[in-house]
Structure formats: structure tokens, C-alpha cells
Structure 1
Amino acid sequence: MNKLLIMVFTALLFSCNNNAQVNSKQQDVINAEPVEVAMKNGKAKAYFASGCFWCVEAVYESVKGVEESTSGYAGGHTKNPTYESSNTGRTGHAEAVEVIYNPEIVSFETLVDVYFASQNPTQVNGQGPDTGSQYRSIIFYQNQEQKNIIMEKKNALEKELGKPVAAEVYPFQKFWIAEDYHQDYERLHPDNPYIQNVSIPRLNRFKRKMPEVLKANH
């Protein structure tokens, strides 16, 4: 009986830790109306969180039609998050990327396919060795059409896997650009042990899954 109580208590403890980001302020973010980002010079923007932003930035920059991918923070309830503050897990933010793309070359729908193909979709609060609410998976929508696309693909993937897909679906509010030293990290630091052992293998797994969407030089 004591063992059972300990197991229940442990499960509750981990459950609380996994949902630590959901307080009243965070719930307001989840329930907010989405903010739609206007197109500029024929380019649109989309926002994704999927573990370490170094990895995700490199994945999206390999895709045809993507002009640039920027590392930053999104999904939280605090202003001006930093790498240090987001790592506490108390800001509500996740490491995220802003993807600037040409919708005449690549659709939002394809970007969502890239998102799911480039991660472990069932891992909760993290990707690979990076764990915590700041590394959780979130897809951000800017309007009902985008939300419908996301939910359709998420539901189809859950049916295919027979397991829940961990990605949360949030209305986009604001993207906070990360510190300069995080930008283009994989490209600028190819010999970094994390890049060698985590980022590059993750990128290569994605490339094998979706070779048809890759830029010619990738």
C-alpha cells in the first residue's frame, strides 16, 4: 500500500512539473485571439517551437521557399524573455523560431508537415536530450484556417501512431528574438559537440523523410 501511495505521489509530482507553465496568466495566452502577422514584400511568417531552436532553425532553413529562420521565444506570459529566464521554465515561453517564407513556393501546410517530420512527435516537454517546458512543442496559428490545418494534421498523425501527439496548439501572440549568439548557431558552430551529436543527426533524419522539399544546396 505504501509503495502504491509513493507511486501515485510521484506521478502527481511529475504531472505538476509538466504542467507548471499553465497558470492563470498562461491560460490567458492560450485563450487569446490570435495575432495575424501581415505579409511583407510577398513574404509571410510562421512560428514553431520544437525543442532546441538551434535544431529547428537549421531544419527550416533547409526548406525550399524559406528565406530565413530566426531563433527566439514565444508562447509565454512574460515580457522580454531571455535565454536564462526561459530556462527556468517559469516564463511560459518555449524556444521557438520565426520562419519567413514565400507562400508561392512553400505553403503553411507544408511547413506543418516539416514540423512533424523533424521531431519526435510524442515526446512531452522536450526533444531528445533537451527537456523542460521551455523545450516543449508548440505550433502557433494566426487565423482559423491555419488552426484547422494544424488540427487536421495533428489528429491524422495521432491516428497513424496510435498515441497522443505532444504538440500544443497556441494562438500566436508575439515572438521575442533571441540573443545574437543563438542565431545561425548550427551553421556558425559546426564542430560544437551538441551540434555534432544532436542537431546535425536531427537535421539529417528530417532530410531523409522529406527530400522533396529541400533546397538544391542541401
Structure 2
Amino acid sequence: MKRLFLTTISLIFFACGNNAQNKTVTKPEIANADPVEVPAENGMEKAYFASGCFWCVEAVYESVKGVEESISGYAGGHTKNPTYEQSNTGRTGHAESVEIIYDPNVVSFETLVRVYFGSQNPTQVNGQGPDRGSQYRSIIFYQNQEQKQTIEKVKAEVAKDYNKPIAAEVLPFQKFWVAEDYHQDYERNHLENPYIRSVSIPRINKFKKKFPELLKENAH
């Protein structure tokens, strides 16, 4: 019991953030806005997802073939230039998110959506694992109607495997705010961190076991 208690305390203390709040929900003007489409650059496209702590999500997507880079940041809220400390209060409306830069000739948007649902508990509301609060809520952002239809199709398929509703919001993309430098590649650079060892690595290993055909040869 003592070991279990200490482990629980450790996970809480070393979670991606400790100030989880449940007060903020997506504002109607954001949910009903027209999506912003991000133009491709040098043949590379961008996609945006929120699924709990961005340290975990960034590492998952960086292991996928066709993904050039995964960047941690904030999206889905109403505050300009949010900081980590502000977002972590749950009052900015933003969720910890990732920007995925990918080659559509290698990996499709639909596959990225399947990775999204397959690398989390899709029924957990306002969080993943020990990270709780609206800043950790699940969101898939679409940039056009074709992407929205793809998301809804995959979401409906995934829902058949669960007895609880799928928690992910489907929102029109507006803007992505890049997080502070020290958050980038956090899992790769901080393997000694108890949260990374106890939460991030088990999550990515579970994903790798589920989708071995999608992994890069050098996936960490």
C-alpha cells in the first residue's frame, strides 16, 4: 500500500501539469467558426491534434513513418500568445496540442486520425491518464470539410469498440501557438523524468505494439 501511495503521489507531482481545472469549455464562436486551411510547404502538409499531455503526443507522432516533425503547442482557445503557465490554469480555453508536419505521399490524414484514436483512451473526458483538466481535453482539428468527414468516419468506427461515448471534440482549426522551447522533444530529452518513465514511455510503447506497421525504422 505504501509503495502504491508513493507511486500515485509521484505521478501526480510529475504530471505534465499540476493545476488542472475543469472550468473552461470551447466557446461557441470557436466551435462554429470557419476552418482555417494551412497551405502545404514543399509538399509537406500540417495536421493538428490534442490528446492529453503534448509531451506524450509529440513522441507518438514522431515515431510514425511520413511524419517529418511534431511540434508541441496550444490550440482551441480564445487567448492570444498563451504561455504554459496560463494554459495550465485551464482558463485560456486552449488544449495542449501538437502540429504534425507530414508527407501525404507517405502517410494520409486518415492514418494520422487513426493514430490519434489508437494512442489514447478515447473515452476519457478532459484528460489522459493522470493529467486532468480542460487543457488536456481531446480535440481533432479539421481544416476543410473533407478532413471533417474523415474524422467523423473514423470516430464512428472507433465508437463501436467502446461502451462509453468518444470524448474527442471535432473543431475547426483556427491557430496553433508554438509552446516554449523546453517543451519541444521533451520525452526524447528527459528520459530520466519520472513522468516520462511512468506515463509517456508506457503510452508510446502501447501504441508501437498496436501499430508496428506504421513505425519508422529508428522509432525511439
Taking only aligned residues, the RMSD between alpha carbons, in angstroms, comes to 1.3
How many Å separate the matches in 1 of 2:210 and 2:161?
16
Q: What are structure 2's unaligned runs of at least 5 residues? A: 1-19
CA distances 1:191-217 after superposition (whole Å, capped 9, x unpaired): 111100000000000001100000011
Aligned counterparts, 1:127-138, within 5 A? 127-138=128-139
Could you say which residue in structure 2 is the equivalent of 1:201?
202
Letter in 2 for 1:132: G
SS at match of 2:98: strand
Could you say which residue in structure 1 is the equivalent of 2:17?
none
Q: Contact conserved, 2:90 with 2:133, CA < 8 A, in 1?
A: yes
Could you say which residue in structure 2 is the equivalent of 1:180?
181
How many Å separate the matches in 2 of 1:129 and 1:18?
13
Q: Contact conserved, 2:50 with 2:95, CA < 8 A, in 1?
A: yes
How many aligned residue pairs are there?
A: 200
Superposed displacement of residue 151, structure 1:
0.5
How many Å separate the matches in 2 of 1:167 and 1:198?
20
Could you say which residue in structure 1 is the equivalent of 2:25?
22
Could you say which residue in structure 2 is the equivalent of 1:114?
115
CA distances 1:52-86 after superposition (whole Å, capped 9, x unpaired): 00000000000000000000000001111111001
Q: Return the TM-score normalized by structure 1.
A: 0.89
SS at match of 2:158: helix
How many Å separate the matches in 2 of 1:86 and 1:189?
22
Could you say which residue in structure 1 is the equivalent of 2:7?
none
User: Which structure has the larger Rg over C-alpha atoms?
Assistant: 1
Could you say which residue in structure 2 is the equivalent of 1:79?
80
Q: Contact conserved, 1:18 with 1:125, CA < 8 A, in 2?
A: no
SS at match of 1:202: helix
Q: What are structure 1's unaligned runs of at least 5 residues? A: 1-16
How many Å separate the matches in 2 of 1:95 and 1:129?
14
For residues 46 and 216 of structure 1, do their structure 2 counterparts lie closer, same or farther at Cα, with a shift above 3 Å needed?
Answer: same
Could you say which residue in structure 2 is the equivalent of 1:98?
99
Between stretches 155-164 and 97-106, larger displacement belongs to 155-164
Q: Contact conserved, 1:50 with 1:119, CA < 8 A, in 2?
A: yes
